[in-house]
């Protein structure tokens, strides 16, 4: 039986997205250079032209437990777009792989883009245009492609809202739109979830868009359909603090309306364990090798807060909704769900 101890990959690896293709697992995430906007600084070190640089570390595993670095996945687009590359995810459709990601300058002017490859490890080539107009939406991050049972694809992501009507909080929150093509949105965006609770606060008295806000954050959407209902997992709060964790909203229709009622006291799927694991979040979900047991893959800080690393733990479906056995930091057995 396979065993593991979190983190399952020792190097910096934030926003992990894991998928399986032809019996092999792949993981793509935000590396330290992408997160900190140091992509240009990396180029001289490796001795390549920054316009030919590849970004986003990509890993491979044959058992979901042992991971190895393969290469960086994305051929860098126009450097004028920015040096911060965040939260890549990959979708497979019609024999092509589509890499969705955001790029921008620090905490502003982030736009959603998509790149294409014939192979899961790339290289991925940017299509040359944003998915959402940066003029009308100056901050869009964390794209998550979701395929429904009928084959239709949707794109969930996070964007900023400044209104506070109806008890919602100003800040980053979640929306969804239908993908008319894998590289084009239909333009029928719907709000998925807005922040409502104190634990989702990112920062009080934050200067944003020329005003001061009590800023709240919902980000990192990940959608799973379970027994006919749509569960949108998300991360809330401030990513570098112990209040950050994973919760979910649920809906009967993929476009909503979604409700995350019941989370007023904190995230219900993953939350920090002080002294052991801090700030678990930005998850993806994948099946174990038997295609029966689901695992939630996420990043978290170890107790020394040295780097965000990749963790995985078993996802459990209960009559009250999804939950998780983690975050764990001791020896675990990979549950493949095999029957005798």
Q: Assess if residue 126 is contained within a domain.
A: yes
324 near 334, Cβ under 8 Å?
no
Q: What is the pLDDT of residue 339?
A: 37
Rounded Cα distance between 141 and 101, Å, is: 7
Which residue in the block uniquely carries the two structure tokens 């909704």? 321
Average pLDDT on 240-252 reads 95
Nearest Cα residue to 65 out of 338, 337, 336:
336
- Please check whether residue 339 lies inside any domain of the structure: no
262 in any annotated domain: yes
Question: Which pLDDT does position 290 carry in this prediction?
Answer: 84
Residue 172 pairs in a beta bridge with 160, 217
Mean pLDDT, the chain, whole residue set? 93
Mean pLDDT of 249-270: 97
**Is residue 340 a part of any domain in this protein?**
no
Domain-located, residue 320: yes
The residues near 150 (Cβ < 8 Å, ≥ 6 apart) are none
Which residue range is the domain that position 166 belongs to? 3-333
pLDDT score of 29 more than 80: yes
Give dist(CA 29, CA 14) in Å, integer.
6
Question: Residue 45 pLDDT more than 60?
Answer: no
Of 258, 255, 140, 139, nearest in space to 196 by CA: 258
Residue range 296-307: average pLDDT?
94
- pLDDT score recorded for residue 282: 98
- Hunting for tokens 């964790």 — which residue is that? 245
pTM above 0.85, yes or no: yes
**Mean of the pLDDT values across residues 4-21?**
97
Q: Considering the chain, what percentage of its residues have pLDDT values greater than 70? A: 94
Under the banding of pLDDT at 50, 70 and 90, the label for residue 338 is very low
150-204, pLDDT tens digit by residue?
A: 999 999 999 999 999 999 999 999 999 999 999 999 999 999 999 999 999 999 9
Residue 50 banded pLDDT, cuts 50, 70, 90: low
What is the Cα–Cα distance from 91 to 333, expressed in whole angstroms?
29
DSSP type of residue 64? S
CA dihedral 53, 311, 243, 273 (to 10 degrees): -150
Domain assignment present for residue 89? The answer is: yes
DSSP-based three-state secondary structure for 45? helix
- Going by pLDDT thresholds of 50, 70 and 90, the confidence category of residue 46 is low
Alpha carbons 126 and 337: distance in angstroms, whole number: 39
Query: Among the residues of 231-339, which ranges form H helices?
Result: none
In a domain, 16, yes or no: yes
158: left (phi over 0), alpha (psi -120 to 50) or beta: beta
Count: domains in the chain? 1
Residues 100-128 have pLDDT tens digits of 999 998 766 899 999 999 999 999 999 99
β-sheet bridge partners, residue 154: 146, 178
Q: Give domain status of residue 238, yes or no.
A: yes
Q: State how beta strands 211-226 and 171-181 pair.
A: parallel
**Helices (H), ranges, the chain:** 32-36, 39-46
Q: For position 31, which CATH number holds?
A: 2.115.10.20
Read off the DSSP letter of residue 42.
H
């Amino acid at each position: 039986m396979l065993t593991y101890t979190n983190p399952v990959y020792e190097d910096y690896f934030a926003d992990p997205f894991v998928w399986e293709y032809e019996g092999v697992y792949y993981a793509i995430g935000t590396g330290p250079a992408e997160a900190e906007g140091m992509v240009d600084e990396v180029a001289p070190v490796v001795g390549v032209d920054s316009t030919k640089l590849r970004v986003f570390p990509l890993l491979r595993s044959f058992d979901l437990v042992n991971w190895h670095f393969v290469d960086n996945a994305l051929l860098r687009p126009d450097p004028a777009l920015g040096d911060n590359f965040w939260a890549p995810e990959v979708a497979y459709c019609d024999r092509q792989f589509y890499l969705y990601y955001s790029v921008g300058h620090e905490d502003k002017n982030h736009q959603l883009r998509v790149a294409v490859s014939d192979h899961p490890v790339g290289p991925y080539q940017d299509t040359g245009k944003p998915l959402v107009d940066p003029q009308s939406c100056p901050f869009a991050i964390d794209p998550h492609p979701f395929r429904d049972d009928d084959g239709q694809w949707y794109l969930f992501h996070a964007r900023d809202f400044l209104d506070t009507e109806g008890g919602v909080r100003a800040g980053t929150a979640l929306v969804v739109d239908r993908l008319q093509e894998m590289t084009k949105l239909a333009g029928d965006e719907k709000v998925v979830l807005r922040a409502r609770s104190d634990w989702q606060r990112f920062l009080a008295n934050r200067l944003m868009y020329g005003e001061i806000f009590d800023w709240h954050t919902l980000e990192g959407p990940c959608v799973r359909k379970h027994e006919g209902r749509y569960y949108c997992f998300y991360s809330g709060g401030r990513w570098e603090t112990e209040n950050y964790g994973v919760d979910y909203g649920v809906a009967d229709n993929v476009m909503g309306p979604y409700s995350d009622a019941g989370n007023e006291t904190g995230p219900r799927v993953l939350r920090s364990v002080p002294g052991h694991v801090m700030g678990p979040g930005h998850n993806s979900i994948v099946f174990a090798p038997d295609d029966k047991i689901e695992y939630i893959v996420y990043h978290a800080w170890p107790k020394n807060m040295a780097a965000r690393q990749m963790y995985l733990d078993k996802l459990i479906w209960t009559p009250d909704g999804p939950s998780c056995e983690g975050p764990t930091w001791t020896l675990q057995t990979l549950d493949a769900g095999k029957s005798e």
